[in-house]
Amino acid sequence: MFGFLYSLGHEPIANAAQNGPLASFYFSIETLATVGYGDMHPQTNYGHLIATIEIFTGMCFLAVMTGLIFARFSRPRARFEFANNPVITRHEGRQTLIIRMANARHNAISQANARLWIIRAERTKEGEELRRFYELKLDRSDHPIFALSWNLFHVIDKDSPLHGLTESDLTESDALLVLNVGGIDDSSTQQLRARRIYSWRDIHWHHRYKDITSVSPQGRLLLDYTKFHDTVPE
């Protein structure tokens, strides 16, 4: 476009006559990229005007492209590790749904929060089948500094959508568990989000997670991630 505008003027570019319209195109590329080899340059007021507009256009275009590329590739990815199987077991004397997760980035995630939902098929009184979702209240849905592992507990009491349901009930309703986790990465101060979806097939009833914690001879807490996904019967 700018090469065409240059060609409308009367010799606006010095040393361009020998190459014809192609010289205007090449000079436009040099100006837009702010390269300026020096053999061609504006020599009329019209040429300077078009070059000035093109320089500002090139600077703005470069700034926008740099911002888009930086935003795309500098955005940190959430590297949350989720256990392969949620478990339903006795915890503190109550039947509890537990999901274990960990922060694989090995840096602190501030203001971490989690929300858990169940989606299941239900039949209305008119015989229509609908998929409805219910939030499962977590014992602790916020974590001040999520750096290592985090167990999410949902107590299955009389107020829980899972109260009174059996494994066959979840199978019949084709139930899904949807876990959404978010937080702020301390290194980049950017928001991180992750989602994990479990089907009713993934839930291990009457199982518990293997303990992955131990203490080193120096008194430091150690986590054995090789056992992270392991479950054992009650």
Domain 2-73 CATH class label? mainly alpha
Give me the tens of pLDDT residue by residue for the chain, a chain 234 residues long: 877 776 776 777 766 666 667 777 777 877 777 777 677 777 778 877 877 888 888 888 888 888 888 767 666 666 889 999 999 999 999 999 999 999 887 778 888 999 999 999 988 888 888 889 999 999 999 998 888 889 999 999 999 999 999 999 999 999 999 999 999 887 777 788 899 999 999 999 999 999 988 888 888 878 888 899 999 998
Q: For the residues of 112-145, what is the DSSP string, one character each? A: EEEEEEEEEEEE-TTS-EEEEEEEE--S--EEEE
d(CA 95, CA 62): 59
pTM (predicted TM-score): 0.68
Are 229 and 103 in contact by the 8 Å Cβ rule? The answer is: no
User: Which pLDDT belongs to residue 144?
Assistant: 87
Q: Are strands 176-185 and 142-146 parallel, antiparallel or unpaired?
A: unpaired
Domain ranges of the chain: 2-73, 80-233
Bridge-partner residues for 175, per DSSP? Answer: none
Domain 80-233 sits in CATH 3.40.50.720: no
Map tokens 């229509």 to a residue.
128
> Quick one: 7 exposed, middle or buried, by C-beta within 10 A (0-12, 13-18, 19+)?
middle
